[in-house]
Structure 1
Amino acid sequence: MLTVYNTLTRRKEAFVPLNPENVRMYVCGMTVYDYCHLGHARVLVVFDMMARWLRQHGHPLTYVRNITDIDDKIIARANENGESIGELTARFIAAMNEDADALGVLRPDVEPKATEYIPQMIAMIEDLIGKGKAYAAENGDVYYAVREFAAYGQLSGKSLDDLRAGERVEVDGHKRDPLDFVLWKAAKAGEPAWPSPWGNGRPGWHIECSAMGGDVFGASFDIHGGGADLQFPHHENEIAQSCGVYGGCGCHHDAGKPVESHVKYWLHNGFIRVDGEKMSKSLGNFFTIRDVLQQYDAEVVRFFILRAHYRSPLNYSDVHLDDAKNALTRLYNTLHNIPAADFDLNTQSNDYTKRFYAAMDDDFGTVEAVAVLFELANEANKQQSAELSGCLKALGGVLGLLQREAQAFLQGGAAADGLSNTAIEALIAERKQARADKNWAESDRIRDLLAAAGIVLRDGADGTTWTRN
């Protein structure tokens, strides 16, 4: 049985869907004002992996990943560029999809945009005001009254008193309490605005996901995911808003104490770190996905992400990506040397598939699952077994790996001296002629030249094949 680590209860729990016929997963997606960085890649790949595994388990899944296409950063960047907000967000949504496609990330079933759900946000805010959970301030803003939700802080483990004394609380004279957060922002000159009962304005960030998740899935759903940085305040505020409208579902019990949440399981992936710090645009230590893909094959980047457990910190460096490249190359070498026989995971099983499934069922344990792949590759090479090679390819496919022609992967990427595939083939043809002329010195010179460029030649009865080292 699949178990998942629930951030809300701080323990692993058996995954039991609210409705076995319709498993529902909502993941906080990108704010589209710039190119996605490697931290965003981890969110994309990790929850794609989870969606794949849930479906492999036979769960009928609806996967929703939202897009934030209106916020302060988007407005500022559009003004800076001298373009409309629509032009800016459309450009970066397209770029995000290009990056996700390159990483082998399957498109979500539903991808709502915040600007498409303004009426639902307004209706939710009106409901919260009507229930005494929110209030309109004199300046036209609307705030959620945090003290009206006694369970506030349960997701992050923060108490109301600690939060009030903390430095993160923003001072705003229009709030009744420093902890209250904005649901609706009054219009400012030069900013986009929508009509509302409180005057023209636009939604706050936190209300977006409550409204979109509630509209698509209803009052409750199975999984809510996102990066660890969203745990507080975004997801904490989302629980307060949604429970304020729908009531707490009370579906969790921690030491006998009910926990209020509209979501049954909260899942958060760990940070990618650079020199011990979280990778982020605000810190200026980020690498965009497309920058990294200039140097590394996209499947290598996906493998780099998945060979670490999704909740663990992941340290970025060229050394770690080079190691991931070499490791993935070893798996592809097995598939290159031993053509894979068809292997159907729904009807065929062995010790490797059982251990792979057990690893993935333990909170999506990709570290152990990848270790099984290497054991399987070693045994396939030892036995020269097409069936085990097929099993390797099938299990890799569950993770979105090892589905290309092995030769295509092994010949991909950039050589150290910039040799193109065409140039390599031309040198191999020259070497072939030198061998035909029995000019062994020239043949050896070309082999050595290619070897220095990281090109490995294999001479066989059917001719010479090559791979990049």
Structure 2
Amino acid sequence: MIKMFNTMTLAKEPFHPIHDDTINMYVCGPTVYNYIHIGNARSAIAFDTIRRYFEYRGYTVNYVSNFTDVDDKMIKAAAEQGITVPELADKYIAAFNEDTAALNIKPATVRPRATEHIAQIIDFVADLIDKGYAYESAGDVYYRAKKFHNYGALAHQDLAEMTSNAAGRLNDEELERKEDPMDFAVWKGENGDGAIAWESPWGKGRPGWHIECSVMSTKYLGNHFDIHGGGIDLAFPHHTNEIAQSEVHTGEKFVNEWLHNGFVTVGDENEKMSKSLGNFVTVHDLLQQIDDPMVLRFFMATTQYRRSIAYSESNMTQAAHNLDRIRTGYRNLAFRLTDAVAGDESLIDDKASELVVQFNTAMDDDFNAPNALTAIYELVDLANQYAATEVVYQDTVNFILDKITVLMSIFGVDGLSDDELLDDDIEALIQERNDARTNKNFARSDEIRDSLAEQGIILEDTPQGTRWHRK
């Protein structure tokens, strides 16, 4: 049985989906005013991995993740670039799709934009007003936070302290507009910049950030759904406010399980990522600098999702080494298909199956990726040991290779084998090198090896013959 840590209860709980074979899951997406940074990528990878594990376990996953495409940051960025807010959104949504595809993040079942749901947002806000939970003030509409029962439960913070902190962040004008410092905007009146606004019963304006996710999640997943995810920084105020406004609007419990991923720190000093510190890393830039995006995917996917991740050059180097270990073991065994005989070896199959059970047990325990990875390493060790035996059986080779492939795909890592074909010229060169070595013409043998290396093809001499992989 799968157990997950619910931020609401601060406990691991057995997971019982509302529908036996289907999981409805919402994960907060980015505000598309810039390229996504590695913190955004960490969240997207963490929940993509969780989604993949659910699917591996036989569930159908309705996975909804939004784009916030209207926001103060977007208005500012659009003005700086001399384009409209929708043009800015289109630009960075396209970049998001490109960058996440490189990291093998599966497309969401639905990827809604806030601006596509303005009519529903206005209706939602009007209902909150009708029920006495929201009020209009100078063109804005605010939600009466403290009127909601148990407000702030998800954040596990003292309400009086939260109120004091909120008051300290507001200027005099904002304090005057609000009945209480804790109240939050569900609709923002036009501020006169003319950048983007819609007509509403309270004048022209645009939605507040929190209301957008309430509308989009309930539209596509229903009033009450299984899982809501996002970064731990969203627990308060964003997710806290989603709960308050959604449950008043629908009269139902909003979400069963709240999952939050940990932060990303940067550098060996584990600094918080910040533009002011000069350590702000976008995925778009990073993908131009690294040879293999799967290393970044592997690094982030194999850290337990609730733990913080220390992004550094040394940790990426270690991740590349570990991934290469898995790929090499896979390819060592795959190479033996050239001389494998028909049949299987049940003892080896049983050992591989036991390791798959270990993997499942680890992932069932709040998606414990590091322990699950240990099972994969042991499976790779088994592959290496079997590849070194004098006789191997086709069915067993394929069985182990399939298990490694499937388990690594849960972490979103593909490309374990070198599927690109050696062309006839390169095959001829490898054969010529083998002949040269037989004839003790080592100068020619070395020349061929160096020539292939220049083409990105690395040769490895094994007891079973010469195998290759791309650099």
TM-score by length of 2: 0.85
Give, as a single letter, the amino acid of the residue that structure 2 aligns with 1:383. Y
2: distance between equivalents of 1:433 and 1:88? 60
Structure 2 unpaired stretches of 5+: 338-342, 388-395
Structure 1 unpaired stretches of 5+: 250-261, 412-420
Q: Which moved more, 1:240-249 or 1:297-306?
A: 240-249
> Displacement of 1:439 after TM fit?
5.3
Residue aligning to 2:410? 398
Distance 1:174 1:68, change over 3 A: same
Distance 1:425 1:203, change over 3 A: farther
1: distance between equivalents of 2:302 and 2:56? 19
> Displacement of 1:356 after TM fit?
0.7
> Displacement of 1:247 after TM fit?
3.0
Q: State the 4+ residue runs in structure 1 displaced beyond 4 angstroms.
A: 280-284, 340-343, 424-439, 441-456, 459-465
Over the residues paired in the alignment, what is the CA RMSD in angstroms? Answer: 3.2
Residue aligning to 1:414? none
> Displacement of 1:447 after TM fit?
5.3
2: distance between equivalents of 1:146 and 1:236? 10
Cα distance per residue 1:98-128 (max 9 Å; x no partner): 1111111111111110000111111111111
Q: Which moved more, 1:166-175 or 1:373-382?
A: 166-175
2: distance between equivalents of 1:128 and 1:145? 10
Residue aligning to 2:117? 117
Q: Which moved more, 1:160-169 or 1:323-332?
A: 160-169
2: distance between equivalents of 1:310 and 1:189? 41
> What SS is found at the alignment partner of 1:302?
helix
Q: In the alignment, which of 288, 305, 330 is matched to residue 282 of structure 2?
A: 288
> What SS is found at the alignment partner of 2:178?
coil
2: distance between equivalents of 1:66 and 1:280? 24
1: distance between equivalents of 2:465 and 2:377? 29
> Displacement of 1:290 after TM fit?
2.6
Give, as a single letter, the amino acid of the residue that structure 1 aligns with 2:237. P
> Displacement of 1:436 after TM fit?
9.4
> Displacement of 1:23 after TM fit?
1.8
Cα distance per residue 1:392-426 (max 9 Å; x no partner): 2222223222x3252259x9xxxxxxxxx9xx999
2: distance between equivalents of 1:439 and 1:41? 51
Answering whether residue 239 of structure 2 is matched by residue 235 of structure 1, we say yes
CA contact (8 A) 1:155 1:236 kept: yes
> Displacement of 1:459 after TM fit?
4.2
Give, as a single letter, the amino acid of the residue that structure 1 aligns with 2:400. L
Residue aligning to 2:393? none
Distance 1:311 1:320, change over 3 A: same
Distance 1:57 1:118, change over 3 A: same
CA contact (8 A) 2:74 2:85 kept: yes
Residue aligning to 2:459? 457
2: distance between equivalents of 1:169 and 1:236? 18
2: distance between equivalents of 1:405 and 1:150? 52
Which protein is richer in helix relative to its size? 2
> What SS is found at the alignment partner of 1:350?
helix
1: distance between equivalents of 2:401 and 2:200? 61
Residue aligning to 1:358? 361
2: distance between equivalents of 1:435 and 1:100? 46
Trace 1:369-448 onto structure 2 (pairs within 5 A).
369-384=372-387, 386=397, 387-401=399-413, 403-404=414-415, 406-407=417-418, 440-441=442-443, 443-444=445-446
Residue aligning to 1:332? 327
Q: Which moved more, 1:442-451 or 1:69-78?
A: 442-451
CA contact (8 A) 1:207 1:238 kept: yes
1: distance between equivalents of 2:302 and 2:53? 15
CA contact (8 A) 2:21 2:58 kept: no
Distance 1:291 1:426, change over 3 A: farther
> Displacement of 1:391 after TM fit?
1.9
Q: In the alignment, which of 180, 186, 191 is matched to residue 177 of structure 1?
A: 180
Residue aligning to 2:69? 69
Distance 1:432 1:19, change over 3 A: closer
Distance 1:466 1:60, change over 3 A: closer
TM-score by length of 1: 0.85
> Displacement of 1:190 after TM fit?
2.2
2: distance between equivalents of 1:12 and 1:397? 25
> Displacement of 1:297 after TM fit?
0.8
Identical amino acids, percent of aligned pairs = 44
CA contact (8 A) 1:143 1:181 kept: yes
1: distance between equivalents of 2:365 and 2:69? 35
